[in-house]
Copies of this chain bind each other. A is one copy, B any other.
Amino acid sequence: MIRVAVDAMGGDRGPEEIVAGAVDASSDTVQPVIVGPRDLDTQGLELIEAPDVIAMDEKPAEAVRAKPNSSLVVACRAVGERTADAVVSAGNTGAMLAACLLELRRIPGVRRPAIAVTIPARRGPSVLLDSGANADARPEDLVQFAHMGAVFAEEILGVARPEIRLLSIGEEPEKGSLLTREAHRLLAATDLNFAGNTEGRDLLTGAADVVVTDGFTGNVALKVTEGTIQSLLEGLREEVTATAVGKLGGLLIRPAARRLRKRLDPDTYGGAYLLGLRGLAVIAHGNSSRRAITNAVSLAARGVEKDVVGRLAQNLGESVLASRPSTTPTPNVR
């Protein structure tokens, strides 16, 4: 039985929505455990008591320090103390990151964890990381992100020998920033299936199975994608409803638009893994629906089942050894 600690008090829609999503996710193999205040109606699910709440707008590090008994921190601690196998929260992302670093700790050799977001690309799902765990990264961090993304793509997306690309501003290795140019060099020297740079233009088409970037760029890219989808669909609605003929056409294409929207819906994936830690953590969208929470719990359970954390520890341990400075450059074994 896989036990997933679910932070009932995170997210914008309130604990009822989250408990309902957790109930839907419970099965013969998955047992969600609700973390929240004593008087919460858990719909029959087990409760781990946590009297405090961290709000969405609290300063992450301070909130985590000041509220060790908040639902978010207690849920993370449950994984750290092995009373749960994974944690899901739709709460304050920064606080989740801080609580995970504190309660789960990093895999030895990992300098920075990364948020791995699944992009519903046209060619099939691909994973973008780091999507915002750290605003600043070093070239070596990007190599670790590539290893993490490869494990994610193999175990969760089911891709053998996933193709990895580096997000940059030109396809040639010499195009890009100091960070990406050096990361390109390091990635080419690993035994990963590194296929070079990709440009932002291909993110939603399906540039690669794994797209590696620093958390600042990844977060901007993700939000630009979301904003563009929303603006474009609103703009289209505006133009379509401007004429009677357009309105009729709009009615007729409604099912098609709905199918497209569903394909692009972040709720389909439920949440993003926070990778590089000694336990499995899933960060769900603040505005997560019941369905999103169900999917987030399933995503967490799948990660436990596939031993993503163990695989990461193994691969990153090897990559840490392999990336030790040497006087001769490591050959590109691709």
Nearest CB of chain B from residue A82's CB, rounded to whole Å: 33
Among B169, B231, B246, B255, point to the contact of A246 (Cβ < 8 A). B255
Task: Say yes or no: A122 contacts B217, CB within 8 Å.
Answer: no
Nearest CB of chain B from residue A276's CB, rounded to whole Å: 19
Q: Does A229 contact B (CB under 8 A)?
A: yes
The CA-CA distance from A252 to B234 in the complex, in Å, is 18
Task: Say yes or no: A223 contacts B246, CB within 8 Å.
Answer: no
Task: Say yes or no: A222 contacts B236, CB within 8 Å.
Answer: no
Which residues in B have their C-beta under 8 angstroms from that of A260?
232, 235-236, 239
The CA-CA distance from A202 to B226 in the complex, in Å, is 9
Looking at chain A's contact residues, is the secondary structure mostly helix, strand, loop, or mixed?
helix
Additional 12 contacts, C-beta under 8 A, given A201-B224, A201-B227, A203-B228: A122-B235, A135-B175, A135-B177, A200-B219, A200-B223, A217-B220, A224-B224, A235-B263, A240-B256, A249-B254, A250-B252, A250-B253
Which residues of chain A have a CB within 8 Å of any CB of chain B? 122, 132, 135-136, 167, 169, 175-178, 180, 199-205, 215-217, 219-236, 239-240, 242-243, 245-246, 248-257, 259-260, 263-264
Which residues in B have their C-beta under 8 angstroms from that of A250?
249, 252-253, 256
> Whose C-beta in chain B lies nearest to the C-beta of A246?
B256
Among B136, B205, B217, point to the contact of A178 (Cβ < 8 A). B136
Nearest CB of chain B from residue A182's CB, rounded to whole Å: 12
The CA-CA distance from A243 to B255 in the complex, in Å, is 10
Among B216, B230, B259, point to the contact of A217 (Cβ < 8 A). B216
Nearest CB of chain B from residue A259's CB, rounded to whole Å: 5
> Whose C-beta in chain B lies nearest to the C-beta of A216?
B177
Task: Say yes or no: B169 contacts A220, CB within 8 Å.
Answer: yes
Nearest CB of chain B from residue A41's CB, rounded to whole Å: 34
Task: Say yes or no: B256 contacts A227, CB within 8 Å.
Answer: no
Nearest CB of chain B from residue A142's CB, rounded to whole Å: 13
* Top 8 A-B pairs, shortest CB-CB distance: A249-B252, A200-B223, A201-B227, A249-B253, A239-B256, A200-B224, A228-B228, A135-B177
Which residues in B have their C-beta under 8 angstroms from that of A204?
224, 227-228, 231-232
Among B221, B233, B253, point to the contact of A224 (Cβ < 8 A). B221
